Amino acid sequence: MTFDIDTVRAQFPFLAQQVNGYPLTYLDSAATSQKPNEVIDTVANYYRVENANVHRGSHHLTAQATSRYEAARHTVAQWIGAPSDDTIIWTRGTTESINLVAYSYARAHLKPGDEIAICENEHHANIVPWQLIAEQTGAIIRKIPITTHGEFDWAYFQNALSERCKLVAVAHITNVTGARQPIEAIIAAAHKLGAKVLVDGAQGIVHEPVNVSDLDADFYAFSGHKFFAPNGIGVLYVKPDLLADMPVWQGGGKMVERVSFSGTQFAAAPACFEAGTPNVAGAIGLATAIQWYQQFDPQEIKQHIAQLHHTLYEGLSTIDDIQIIGHQPGSGILSFIIDGVHHHDIATLLDQQGIVVREGHHCAHPLMEALKITGTVRLSLSIYNHHADITRAIAAIKKAADIL
């Protein structure tokens, strides 16, 4: 389908509303994306006429739900270039995916003195689980600093990397500035020393095509809600040869073959990592979001967002006392501060004009400390934004700056 912004926007009913008497200008897609009608209809229809548990029972509805649930896994596997459906584990989101790796693989393999390398620009979800595991195993967190431009310090990483490093946890694309990390080089360097690499793809999966096989990532985690899908569904890709090295981390129904008081036999992966009743509607909603997105040319989407980003950057650059934090051209994510003005006050005035943005530390306290700031205002773009959104945002930020 040829990309046409008006046609795209018409598929997102959320965008038609007003806020405080102003047309809604939604610029917070890095926090969560809005959902197209196809995804909304898929989820509603599931609960309306298809609702049943999966991999349980023999009636028609459970067979149908199971088929759609596993077909969704196949859709995800194909979309990200996974070698098989069995390498795709359903989770609640990126956070749970990272915790799964931490409490299954890492806790079983890390020993006292082993190192976990993490950059200080990571989201808390890719820091805190590793701190907890380090406390339990005696492993050491090796902090990789940022450069003066707020990016991953590749030179420091090369010098710091040693055979003591057993795991590197790195974001594909950072959530505050939109910086793309050198994940290909990081993975290659880590693998030379026998370390495994987990990629936090919460933002990356949205901004560029991902092929986990070509990337050679050991683990790749992402959330559905940032990619036009429902909340509460996430994906963890695990390289096939690592699945057998991961003990189960939650017990319950569905993840077993047989239970007795003399011992339990667990199901094969990925089922052994999916205890309890799964988010069936979320899984099929994510598959629908992927299929909906695939009707467009990725290059046209990338060009559309890059043009919006450029216009936004140029407009904000004319405002006195504004400082754009770690600008990444074309990324669709732009954070800024205004000297002497609190980020919360700016966001409040924007909200009064119908402009929805994110303000604060963005779950990135270490990055804020490294930048010597308390927070930023972040604007994040998506496929459904148009130039009127950018024009309104620039005008509203100028007005807020004048008032404050």
User: Which residues are catalytic, by number?
Assistant: 363
Residues 6+ apart with CB under 8 A from 9: 15, 384, 386
Q: CA 401, CA 342: separation in Å to the nearest integer?
A: 11
Contact in structure between 357 and 376 (CB atoms under 8 Å): no
Residues 6+ apart with CB under 8 A from 297: 2, 3
Measured in degrees and rounded to the nearest 5, phi and psi for residue 333 equal: -125, 130
Is residue 213 left, alpha or beta, with left meaning phi > 0 and alpha meaning psi from -120 to 50?
A: alpha
Spatial CA neighbour of 179 closest among 198, 160, 207: 207
Query: What does the buried/exposed string (b/e) look like for 72-91 if buried means 16 or more CB atoms within 10 Å of the residue's CB?
Result: bbebbbebbebeebbbbbbb
Residues 6+ apart with CB under 8 A from 351: 19, 20, 357
Contact in structure between 61 and 49 (CB atoms under 8 Å): no
Tokens of 149: 């431009």
Q: CA 400, CA 369: separation in Å to the nearest integer?
A: 26
Q: Rg of the chain's alpha carbons, rounded to an integer? A: 22
Q: What angle do CA 331, 337, 343 make, to 5 degrees?
A: 110
